[in-house]
Structure 1
Amino acid sequence: MSSTSTSNLYESQSTTKPPFFNGDNYPYWKNHMRFFIKSTDYMVWDVVEEGPYIPTKRTDEGRLVPKVKSEMTEEDRRKMQVNNKALHIIFCALGPDIYSKVSSIESTKEVWDTLETTYEGTSDVKEMKIGLLNLSYGNFKMDPDESVSKMFDRFSIIVNGLKGFSEVIPEDKIIRKLLYSLLESWDGKRTTIIEANNLKTLKLDELVGSLLTHEIMKQGR
């Protein structure tokens, strides 16, 4: 199968290195980064969501105040170290230009929130982007004279964009959408695929491979 077939939609990620972010497709990166951090250490993700642990003590008047360094216990230091671990993971995932924008921030939550505001926008902007992506998905059709690979690349951008906003489309629905987005000249092949397969269990790789093979055969006639 062509290397362009499914690499964009389900691009493999390293299990030991955080997904790299260079400023493009932030929602998609955020989604992968969230799961990467959780798989590394769930306490690290708590720090990203809730902010760093700050050791406190209660005064004689009953007020909670931060501890000075000499008052901190080993448990305090261990919990504080989690923030540094979270910062390290996120910083290792950022390109130089992006790193320079947040490198002076010492709270992982502030770094995460800053990236989110900078590259994803406010909640209204996010809703607008999701709406546009859903519209593009609903109206998606294969263009005249478009190859399978180019059609799939366009489709991948839309699906990846929705996935980045946590709107994950089940694979069987993706397969149905692709099949019914084909041109009328593909009617025979579409019917053959539907009759020969259970679309709920058919894999995306298998579908794209079948379409690519048929395309090559058509070109050879």
Structure 2
Amino acid sequence: MVAASKVPMLKPGVYEIWRMRIEQYIQMIDYALWEVKENGATLPKTTTMEGVVTVMPITTAEEKTQRRLEVKARSTLMMGIPNEYHLKFNSIKDAKKLLEAVEKILGGNAATKRLKGIS
């Protein structure tokens, strides 16, 4: 039985610790979520007919499971981000890209953050 715990919240100046804790948290919930984060989202299938590219809908159970895991991984990461950054990151729909953006904007050492005007 897995004990429920709160999602680790990112605090200014402690990105590296948060990164380790969110990784452990996601792996504890479901290791497949972390694999989705590590490998990125599966690209939607497309078909081209007469020069027009059409995105094919998700139809197989495997595709639906993969999409559900991607949404859950992204949502879990968003829950660990402070509210003031939600608008900045909300447009990123891929968990792997979301974590990369968080690291780029909120990660780094104190000197880097001062240059970015974060703290």
Secondary structure, counterpart of 1:72 in structure 2: coil
Structure whose residues are more often helix by fraction:
1
Q: How many residues align?
A: 105
* Percentage identity across paired residues of the two chains: 23
Could you give the per-residue CA deviations for residues 62-95 of structure 1, whole angstroms, max 9, x where no partner exists?
A: xxx98511x6212211111111000111111111
Counterpart residue number, 2:34: 45
Secondary structure, counterpart of 1:52 in structure 2: coil
Counterpart residue number, 2:24: 35
Change in CA separation of 1:66 and 1:17 when aligned onto 2, cut-off 3 Å: farther
Query: In structure 1, which of residues 69, 87, 96 is the aligned counterpart of residue 83 of structure 2?
Result: 96
Counterpart residue number, 2:11: 22
Counterpart residue number, 1:68: 56
1:84 paired to 2:75 = no
Could you give the per-residue CA deviations for residues 85-139 of structure 1, whole angstroms, max 9, x where no partner exists?
A: 0011111111111222211110111110011112224xxx7xxx9xxxxxxxxxx
Taking the aligned partners of 1:67 and 1:107, their CA distance within structure 2 comes to 17
Unpaired runs of at least 5, structure 2? 113-119
| Aligned partner letter, 2:29 | T
Taking the aligned partners of 2:10 and 2:97, their CA distance within structure 1 comes to 17
TM-score by length of 1: 0.42
RMSD: 2.8
Could you give the per-residue CA deviations for residues 154-201 of structure 1, whole angstroms, max 9, x where no partner exists?
A: xxxxxxxxxxxxxxxxxxxxxxxxxxxxxxxxxxxxxxxxxxxxxxxx
Larger Rg: 1
| Aligned partner letter, 2:27 | K
Counterpart residue number, 1:114: 101
Instruction: Determine if contact 2:47/2:56 at 8 Å carries over to the other structure.
Output: no
| Aligned partner letter, 1:26 | Y
Secondary structure, counterpart of 2:102 in structure 1: helix
Structure whose residues are more often strand by fraction:
2
| Aligned partner letter, 1:111 | L
